[in-house]
Structure 1
Amino acid sequence: MSKSKGRILVIDDDDYITLSLKLLLEEHFTEVTTVKEPKKIPGILGKQSFDVILLDMNFKQGDTSGEEGIYWLKKIKEMEIDANVILITAYGDVNIAVKTIKEGAIDFVVKPWQNEKLLSTIHAAYTLSQEKKRVKHLRSQQKILSSAMDNQFANIIGQSGAMLDVFKTIEKVAKTNADVLILGDNGTGKEMVARAIHRNSPRAEEVFISVDMGAIQENLFESELFGHKKGAFTDAREDRIGRFEAASGGTIFLDEIGNLSLPLQAKILTVLQSRHITRVGTNDPIPIDVRVICATNSSLATMVKEKRFREDLLYRINTVEITLPPLKERIEDIPLLTEHFLKLYCKKYQKEHIRVPEYVVKKLQKYHWPGNIRELQHALERAVIMCESDNLQAGDFAFLGNESTEEQSFDDFNLEKLEEWAIRNSIKKHHGNISHAAQELGLSRGALYRRMEKYGL
């Protein structure tokens, strides 16, 4: 019969009882710890957790009240609210049994016991312990997912040659478990590429955990990444899994890994080499199965030469490199991106009829975009919020300037573009008076209205 990988704690002042239980339970569980003095309970629970705790109800000679057992039951539950405690007594008092259940015990055993019945009770408690751990793991995982998930834009947008090369690389690498390093300036979409790799991988049904390495305080690094045990430090009020453990089975994305100090780089390297993590406050290694994708806007090769980044860590994370071009090098994608963000924010702010004239798009293509796609996204959102007409103008983008009618220029002399420009500015000049604008343009009111409808004015 195989043993359950469970930890059992027996607390009883009778040497015969503790020895009997140890011999019996060691045949069924991997670890059985015995304690004679209940005052040692806090010290033991402060160092490790147990799946099941067997607690005697009376420790003083002649005492049959069970009060001391109830006292220590409360103490155990204060330290470990999910502790699975089975109380043992030589006196089968129903009132005491009811009281202990109300205080948090999961069962009640009377001495002398039948081995089969006792084992059945303990196995049931062990199963409950495993279920509680699974629920706790899922809750912790969900908390991390809630803070980490950012699926606002599920697809990468682009048709430029540079982006087509990126798509090809994503398609090739996604099918493997190879570690990937994504390089690119801030705002180029590194996390979106990481998510695309995950979505197209065999791990697509599992979790994707994103971690901004530069945002984690150094003194909390191990706790955030590897988890901690309750009491490991002042604010550790409960057991908590770390990001690596939460991502097990799926993908972990380590963004801005170039921001890590050398000591923290060493800790990450150890985990990547061993594929084990150890929670703060424990000595128990926990195996993890994660795909690792890293990203940075720094030149790690330069940092290696300057002794600011570990060469062995660079070799570990860059099995495949993907370099994302800045937006100024993929200007043919700006119309697509502009259309995408415009639709998104028009819907969000209930301004469904706003459009961006082609001459404005061309101006957007000439801008150098130091903030890349993220800057374009924010610029479109602001423009939609502030726009008072159905057409965005160059002046709606602060960095493009606010051109007057005389300053408007064209890259070509397409008659429709010139006509649209003339109509728009004539209406603006006459403050919306259609009759005056039509007279200046040499059109009838009806003809002007038809052209306005044609150009969406």
Structure 2
Amino acid sequence: MSKTEGKILVVDDDVDVLSTAKMFLKQHFSVVQVDQHPENIPKLLAQDNFDLILLDMNFSKGDNDGEEGLFWLNKILEINPGAVVILITAYGEVDLAVKAIKNGAVDFVLKPWKNEKLLATINSSLKLSRSKKEVEQLKNTQKKLTEEGNRPYQEFVGNSPAIQRVFDLIDKVAATDANVLILGENGTGKELVARALHRKSLRKNNIFISVDLGAISETLFETELFGHVKGAFTDAKENRPGSFELASGGSIFLDEIGNLSLPLQAKLLTVIQNREVKRVGANRKTSVDIRLICATNLPLYEMVETDEFRQDLLYRINTVEIRLPSLRERKEDIPLLIQHFLDIYSKKYKKNNLRIDQGSISKLKKYQWPGNVRELQHAVERAVILSTGNQISAGDFPLGPTQPVKNVAQEIMTLEDMEQKFIREALERNLGNVSKTAKELGLTRTALYRRLNKHGL
């Protein structure tokens, strides 16, 4: 006879009752634990996640008012508001059992019980509990899916060899559950890669959760990612699952992972290693089944050397690495991207039959695009908005300089050109080591990275 997957806890002061219950229930459920002392309940709930608890209503000899049972029922629900509790009561205490149900118990059984009746009550209660959890999970998942669906998302576009190599890697990795780290400058499409991995995976019919770690404060990190229970803090008015629980069965994308402080990196590492989360204020952990995808524009390997990023966390998240090329490295894709965004924004702003002349495309191909595809997208949208006829010209794209300005006598350099040249030479002297370059220039690493992005270095 196959057993039902479920963890049952029986708490009763009568040793014979415990022995009988364990002997019978072990035949039907995978785990049955018994305890004679109700004061052990908090410790037991902290150690394990029970699917159902059978609780006696009276523990002290001579007492039959049920107050002890009500006390421990309230304590259980305080620790775990979603706990499924069935009361064990004597025949004359039915009114007390009804009162207990009003206080949050699911059902009650009379002792001495009939095994068939006990089994039916437990199975019925477990089904009810699972149905409630599924409904709650569906509500939370639907809410998250609606939020994600309202976010702008465009297809990945490109035929260049550089982007084709990315597509090939996505195809090879997607069907596995390997952790993936996506590296690339801002605006290169790291989230698009993450979504493509999910869309081509075996989890494609389940949820994809995207979390911008750079936008979450230290104080909200745990509740956003791991959730909280009602009453965990002042504004915690209801139980709330975190992003990891919501993503269970699907994929979770942690963007800007390089921005996490070392203490938060440690907490994230524990969850990734154990595939378990503990909500803020909870006493038990919840297992999660997720496909992990991370991304950053920061140099994690150099950050490991300077103790800014944990090496063990880096090894956990980069089973496979996907490096995205900048738009400067795939300029042959610019005409395709321009047409793609032109089609989108022509429809959005109801400006049909818009065209762009070849002179404008040539100008856009010469520009360095420090903001990559995202900057190009915004430039096309702005041009569509500002256009007055059916033709978009170079003047509709107010971009920065496309190349150095020269006269016959000498090259005239702007301050920005000089800064770019100065930084490039410092990088060459230091063999590309950002930390050494920043030190030589008297800049922080963050300040230097901003300038590198600005100049497309």
TM-score calculated relative to the size of structure 1: 0.70
Shift of the alpha carbon at 1:399? Answer: 3.0
Shift of the alpha carbon at 1:338? Answer: 1.4
Look up the match of 1:440. Answer: none
State whether structure 2 residue 220 is matched by structure 1 residue 220.
yes
C-alpha separation between the residues in 1 aligned to 2:267 and 2:71?
A: 42
Secondary structure in structure 1 of the residue aligned to 2:126: helix
Question: Conserved in 1, the CA contact under 8 Å of 2:355 and 2:390?
Answer: yes
State whether structure 2 residue 414 is matched by structure 1 residue 380.
no
* Of 218-227 and 298-307, the range deviating more from structure 2: 218-227
5 Å matches for 1:25-424?
28=28, 30-32=31-33, 51-52=51-52, 82-86=82-86, 90=90, 106-107=106-107, 109-148=109-148, 152-153=152-153, 155-282=155-282, 284-399=284-399
Secondary structure in structure 1 of the residue aligned to 2:7: strand
Distance 1:293-1:74 versus aligned 2 partners, 3 A rule: closer
* Of 54-63 and 164-173, the range deviating more from structure 2: 54-63
Look up the match of 2:6. Answer: 5
Question: Conserved in 2, the CA contact under 8 Å of 1:345 and 1:384?
Answer: yes
Secondary structure in structure 1 of the residue aligned to 2:209: strand
C-alpha separation between the residues in 1 aligned to 2:296 and 2:337?
A: 23
Shift of the alpha carbon at 1:130? Answer: 2.3
Secondary structure in structure 2 of the residue aligned to 1:210: strand
Q: Deviations over 1:17-68 (max 9, x none)?
A: 778667765665535566888x999999899875445567799999999999
Secondary structure in structure 2 of the residue aligned to 1:128: helix
Secondary structure in structure 1 of the residue aligned to 2:117: helix
Shift of the alpha carbon at 1:336? Answer: 1.2
Question: Conserved in 1, the CA contact under 8 Å of 2:45 and 2:284?
Answer: no
Query: Which structure would you say has the larger Rg?
Result: 1
Q: Deviations over 1:374-425 (max 9, x none)?
A: 1222222233234333223334333379xxxxxxxxxxxxxxxxxxxxxxxx
Distance 1:231-1:28 versus aligned 2 partners, 3 A rule: farther
Secondary structure in structure 2 of the residue aligned to 1:398: coil
Distance 1:94-1:297 versus aligned 2 partners, 3 A rule: closer
Count matched residues.
399
Alignment RMSD:
4.1
Question: Conserved in 1, the CA contact under 8 Å of 2:327 and 2:372?
Answer: yes
C-alpha separation between the residues in 1 aligned to 2:240 and 2:344?
A: 37
C-alpha separation between the residues in 2 aligned to 1:203 and 1:24?
A: 39
Q: Which amino acid aligns with 2:196?
A: A
Distance 1:58-1:249 versus aligned 2 partners, 3 A rule: closer
Shift of the alpha carbon at 1:371? Answer: 1.7
Secondary structure in structure 1 of the residue aligned to 2:355: coil
Secondary structure in structure 2 of the residue aligned to 1:329: helix
Distance 1:48-1:224 versus aligned 2 partners, 3 A rule: farther
Percent identical residues: 56
Shift of the alpha carbon at 1:156? Answer: 1.0
Secondary structure in structure 2 of the residue aligned to 1:182: strand
Shift of the alpha carbon at 1:152? Answer: 4.1
Secondary structure in structure 2 of the residue aligned to 1:196: helix
Gaps of at least 5 residues in structure 1 are: 402-457
Q: Deviations over 1:249-279 (max 9, x none)?
A: 3332221111111222223333334444444
Shift of the alpha carbon at 1:185? Answer: 1.0
* Of 78-87 and 135-144, the range deviating more from structure 2: 78-87
Distance 1:6-1:321 versus aligned 2 partners, 3 A rule: closer
Secondary structure in structure 1 of the residue aligned to 2:220: helix
C-alpha separation between the residues in 2 aligned to 1:97 and 1:309?
A: 55
Secondary structure in structure 1 of the residue aligned to 2:353: coil
Distance 1:226-1:78 versus aligned 2 partners, 3 A rule: closer
C-alpha separation between the residues in 2 aligned to 1:240 and 1:155?
A: 32
Q: Which amino acid aligns with 2:203?
A: R
Q: Which amino acid aligns with 1:245?
A: E
Shift of the alpha carbon at 1:289? Answer: 3.7
* Of 353-362 and 53-62, the range deviating more from structure 2: 53-62
C-alpha separation between the residues in 1 aligned to 2:169 and 2:300?
A: 20
Question: Conserved in 2, the CA contact under 8 Å of 1:52 and 1:85?
Answer: yes
C-alpha separation between the residues in 2 aligned to 1:147 and 1:31?
A: 41
* Of 253-262 and 159-168, the range deviating more from structure 2: 159-168
Shift of the alpha carbon at 1:160? Answer: 2.1
C-alpha separation between the residues in 2 aligned to 1:285 and 1:46?
A: 8
C-alpha separation between the residues in 1 aligned to 2:190 and 2:124?
A: 48
Question: Conserved in 1, the CA contact under 8 Å of 2:49 and 2:284?
Answer: no
Shift of the alpha carbon at 1:217? Answer: 2.0
Shift of the alpha carbon at 1:182? Answer: 1.5
Shift of the alpha carbon at 1:202? Answer: 3.2
C-alpha separation between the residues in 2 aligned to 1:52 and 1:269?
A: 31
Q: Deviations over 1:88-116 (max 9, x none)?
A: 65557999998877776644544554332
Distance 1:127-1:336 versus aligned 2 partners, 3 A rule: same
Question: Conserved in 1, the CA contact under 8 Å of 2:46 and 2:283?
Answer: no
Q: Which amino acid aligns with 1:366?
A: K
Shift of the alpha carbon at 1:306? Answer: 1.7
C-alpha separation between the residues in 1 aligned to 2:361 and 2:302?
A: 37
C-alpha separation between the residues in 1 aligned to 2:314 and 2:299?
A: 11
C-alpha separation between the residues in 2 aligned to 1:36 and 1:366?
A: 77
Q: Deviations over 1:323-350 (max 9, x none)?
A: 2222233222122111111111221222
Distance 1:67-1:388 versus aligned 2 partners, 3 A rule: farther
Shift of the alpha carbon at 1:290? Answer: 3.0
Q: Which amino acid aligns with 2:189?
A: G
* Of 79-88 and 254-263, the range deviating more from structure 2: 79-88
Question: Conserved in 2, the CA contact under 8 Å of 1:64 and 1:91?
Answer: no
Distance 1:292-1:61 versus aligned 2 partners, 3 A rule: closer
Q: Deviations over 1:201-220 (max 9, x none)?
A: 33333332222121222233
Q: Which amino acid aligns with 1:128?
A: L
